[in-house]
Structure 1
Amino acid sequence: MSEQPPLVLVSNRGPVTYQEDGSVKRGTGGLVTALTGLASHRDAIWIASAMTDQDVEVAREHDGKPFEVEAPEGGSFRIRFVESDAEAYDRFYNIIANPMLWFIQHYLWDLSNAPDIRRHEVEAFEQGYQAVNHDLAQAVIDEIDGQEEPVVMVHDYHFYTLPGMIREARPDVFLHHFVHIPWTQPDAWRVLPNGIREQIYNGLLANDIIGFHTKSYQRNFLQCCRDLMDLDVSFDEGIVHCGDREVWVRHYPLPIDYESTRRISRRPRVREFEERVLARRREFAILRVDRADLSKNVLRGFTAFDIFLEQHPEFAERITFTAQLMPSRTDVPEYAEYLEKIEALVAVVNHRHGTPDWMPIDLKLRDDLDEAVASYKHYDVMMVNAMFDGMNLVAKEGPLVNERHGVSILSENTGAHEELGEFAISVNPFDVQELADAIYSALVMSPEARERRARGLKEIVTSRDPGDWIDEQIADIRAKHAGSRATG
């Protein structure tokens, strides 16, 4: 396989977005973090949706072609913004990708009440999801025109049908697709009409390699191909047989850029936040850093803390639960309602247990990396109790920079649990009594046990970096391109 052509990366969010004041802001989310490492590790062109009006203006200024941009956090990228029709993009994102696919892949639908799939949703798939997938597929086809043996790496749930569009135009292309969120079991996918479901699976199966964070998600996908698509599947080898083609299905756990995270922890602004954290600190500190997303299970986390305070009154006025939550998808009604429930529950817990001098829960609704890292350094307990999570990078970032041998409480349904579970307190995210008990166990744990767990977490987190993650995938691309067999 030739090394000369650059990789083509495809994701909904790019490494940067342009703001109204002309400034450039780093793209948010774990996916952007992962691909930023990839783009800096390999020669790559990054194709992404134009997310703001300013992104559209910049795309037009460059005639829709790739251009060089400096990221605020450092590093430069060649990106190509793709402008889609505004109504099509709204249908693509706010009806199909979120909430439909996101809810399916996180088991979030209350099936006795929702969803009701009508012509509105079917048209949103055809005229929204398919239209935006087509827009970015055309940009990819344009970028690889004239290249021999091009390699295209597609990312996440926004672009499940895009690979089939590219394969039809360029049968010689090598397509790799990484899914950053959980892959659910077959019955969860039966929510979708057969026609839509088959288009999604056929689009994905146009790839040469499909990657997930965990063995569990890999296994679920293989089972879906067998049960929903009636395909011949090898679970041991991780292969789906599609006619005369073999699709490799692999798992590549996403590491964090631990050196970069450590550098951030030494920033002057982080130290300023640390002074504030320490000035307000009580004897014990619990921390969670999350998006205010339904899948993150924030309400049950606060309910468990409420139970803990009720059952262990000796901790009154000695502990603070800091929750730094970034509002998420507030234009989706379910998310706006969820944020209201979070604020209401915090008010109830603080009223029930608080005193004039003490507020048990300190809720911060903002996205500030420096502030979050400052809190990482000084927690005694970190709570990650997501219902289901693709990976959860907070579960890795916190233990890396924590200076107090902080204990991690980790949901068994996070992708990170496959790697970190041995050194965390594992919890069933739906069992609030178990979570309350875990808080108590973490707080009374012996210094020796805390140190052993903290050391184990750091060793795992620093054992791989994004370069390793990328190299593992590139090695499989080379192996498959050379005709090797999958190894599962």
Structure 2
Amino acid sequence: MSTDTAAPLVLVSNRGPVTFEDDGSMSRGTGGLVTALTGLASHRDAVWIASAMTPADAKRAQEAGGRPIDIRTPTGGEYQVKLVASDAEAYDGFYNIVANPMLWFIQHYLWDLSNAPDIRRHEIDAFDYGYRVVNEDLARAVIEEIDGREHPVVMVHDYHFYLLPALVRAARPDVFLHHFVHIPWTQSDAWRVLPNRLREEVFRGILANDIVGFHTRSYRRNFLQCCEDLMGLEVDHEAGVVRYEDREVWVRAYPLPIDARATLQVARSARVRQFETELLRRRRDHLILRVDRADLSKNVLRGFSAFDLFLEQHPEFAEKVTFVAQLMPSRTDVPEYAEYLERIEALVAVVNHRHGTPDWMPIQLKLRDDLEEAVAAYKHYDVLLVNAMFDGMNLVAKEGPLVNERGGVSILSENTGAHEELGEFALSVNPFDIQELADAIHSALTMGEGRRAERLDGLKAIVTERDPGDWIDEQLADIRKKAGVDLGPPVGPTAAA
């Protein structure tokens, strides 16, 4: 499982790689992140620490007596998962008040500042007795795991655990801490929404790391500028270094790739072929597709408004084009999200009533999360619409072109993380410019076959250039360089698969 000389490794994330069911069975997480980290954990002396997300998770953690649980992968690898059950009220404040929506909204520019947020004692208490408590719970688990171990390396993931690194470093000054943030990092003024004390705790927490990673160079620049503007720290923008206390914090960009082989394998599955048969049976001349969570940051309403405008300005496409939108309901217990989903459904009804006929429904709205159904649609779209207001990366923008068989054109918001890599071969749009988006839909649908194929080939080449194993190896290389510790052999594509 690991080399004898490799430094002990701890991974930390809110959601773990596995979820336990009431009957004792276990389901594994999916996606590039879980794939990459599972490959990493399976080939090193690693423990993955995560929150217990369900009562069954908490029960399994209790049965394990707080000790790590052995997990075997389908490819024969083995690693350990330690699930941490926090107080239910504390976790509610941690997740539903501070992490979502407070931090999520700040990091996606979602607050309507003339109306929200109103930060009162309720929000401050959620930070002090929720967000901090859950960070302390998982930090304690990390400290237990590295107790007595030399040269430990801890890799923390995402916005849920900005306070954890400082807590771990206080207990173990010798630890090497690496933190990857999977969502956008906004500019300095966006962070002024947080009261000074809370903001400083967040920044001091993340600056306790040795390396901080983001998906894009743009987010890296924003973080460096925030350290200068909000914390008054010395920053080397060219080198990507923040000088904090007596340490140098490296700030790096590591764009997350998709697992191309796994995605292509799904595309060849029997269930995908079943969905393809039904889709092709109902298909019109043109198919526009979006696959998203029904999240405010995804900008779904403006996408539908642009399609409405396109149909108004180009009536020749009536009954010839269908917009399929597969949306997974997201965070419906947060009032802003529940209201947003209602507005999506209402706008779809308006567009379909305005332009539809007895034989044609312009927008097909599918409120469900079904990977095989999405992949079947990926294979046959003419236009893939990704118009997020702001996005950490957006893997749909990579998955769609990989499996598309129709010379599909990507319309891509310039504010998605994926745009730094894919913008050259996509139709770039300002996500707030509905007319530009309507024009892009028309350009995509009228583009010549040769140009469509050239763009799609360019996207495929970029998407297949790196895999999740490479993403991990790039980070491990920087850890080796800065920490001078052995982390074992590279993950590589085989180990991550």
Higher RCO, Cα 8 Å, sep 6+: 2
In 1, are the aligned partners of 2:12 and 2:156 still within 8 Å (CA)? Answer: yes
What do the CA deviations read for 1:261-285 (whole angstroms, capped 9, x no partner)?
Answer: 1111111111111111111111100
Matches within 5 A, 1:207-286: 207-286=209-288
| Superposition deviation, residue 22 in structure 1 | 4.4
In 1, are the aligned partners of 2:32 and 2:257 still within 8 Å (CA)? Answer: no
Verify: 1:60 aligned to 2:62, yes or no.
yes
Identity %: 75
User: What amino acid maps onto 1:83 in structure 2?
Assistant: A
Alignment partner of 2:477: what SS?
helix
Match of 1:444 in 2: 446
Q: How many Å separate the matches in 1 of 2:73 and 2:436? A: 43
| Superposition deviation, residue 39 in structure 1 | 3.3
- Point out where structure 2 has 5 or more consecutive residues left out of the alignment: 486-497
In structure 2, do the counterparts of structure 1 residues 41 and 76 end up closer, same or farther at CA, with 3 Å as the change threshold? closer
In 1, are the aligned partners of 2:32 and 2:258 still within 8 Å (CA)? Answer: no
User: What amino acid maps onto 2:145 in structure 1?
Assistant: E
User: What amino acid maps onto 1:230 in structure 2?
Assistant: G
Match of 1:117 in 2: 119
User: What amino acid maps onto 2:69 in structure 1?
Assistant: F
Number of equivalenced pairs: 483
| Superposition deviation, residue 146 in structure 1 | 1.2
Q: How many Å separate the matches in 2 of 1:157 and 1:36? A: 20
Match of 2:351 in 1: 349
In 2, are the aligned partners of 1:38 and 1:466 still within 8 Å (CA)? Answer: no
Alignment partner of 2:130: what SS?
helix
Q: How many Å separate the matches in 2 of 1:383 and 1:3? A: 48
Identify which of 307, 316, 324 aligns with 1:314: 316
In 2, are the aligned partners of 1:50 and 1:83 still within 8 Å (CA)? Answer: yes
In structure 2, do the counterparts of structure 1 residues 36 and 393 end up closer, same or farther at CA, with 3 Å as the change threshold? farther
Q: How many Å separate the matches in 1 of 2:190 and 2:251? A: 20
Identify which of 39, 45, 48 aligns with 1:46: 48
Match of 1:486 in 2: none
| Superposition deviation, residue 69 in structure 1 | 3.1
Verify: 1:370 aligned to 2:372, yes or no.
yes
Match of 2:16 in 1: 14
* Alpha-carbon RMSD: 1.7
In 1, are the aligned partners of 2:36 and 2:469 still within 8 Å (CA)? Answer: no
In 1, are the aligned partners of 2:8 and 2:151 still within 8 Å (CA)? Answer: no
Q: How many Å separate the matches in 2 of 1:74 and 1:2? A: 19
Matches within 5 A, 1:26-37: 26-27=28-29, 31-37=33-39
In structure 2, do the counterparts of structure 1 residues 3 and 104 end up closer, same or farther at CA, with 3 Å as the change threshold? farther
Alignment partner of 2:389: what SS?
coil
Q: How many Å separate the matches in 2 of 1:397 and 1:39? A: 25
What do the CA deviations read for 1:127-157 (whole angstroms, capped 9, x no partner)?
Answer: 0000000000011111111110000000000
User: What amino acid maps onto 1:428 in structure 2?
Assistant: N
Alignment partner of 2:105: what SS?
helix
Verify: 1:470 aligned to 2:472, yes or no.
yes
What do the CA deviations read for 1:72-119 (whole angstroms, capped 9, x no partner)?
Answer: 899754211100000000000000000000000000000000001111
Structure 2 length normalisation: TM-score? Answer: 0.94
| Superposition deviation, residue 45 in structure 1 | 1.5
Structure 1 length normalisation: TM-score? Answer: 0.96
Alignment partner of 1:47: what SS?
strand
Match of 1:399 in 2: 401
In structure 2, do the counterparts of structure 1 residues 70 and 272 end up closer, same or farther at CA, with 3 Å as the change threshold? farther
Alignment partner of 2:325: what SS?
strand
Alignment partner of 2:461: what SS?
helix
Match of 1:195 in 2: 197
What do the CA deviations read for 1:345-369 (whole angstroms, capped 9, x no partner)?
Answer: 0111111111111111110001111
Verify: 1:479 aligned to 2:481, yes or no.
yes
- Point out where structure 1 has 5 or more consecutive residues left out of the alignment: 484-488
Instruction: Indicate the larger mover: 18-27 or 5-14.
Output: 18-27
What do the CA deviations read for 1:327-348 (whole angstroms, capped 9, x no partner)?
Answer: 0000000000000000110111
Alignment partner of 2:93: what SS?
helix
Q: How many Å separate the matches in 1 of 2:7 and 2:286? A: 54
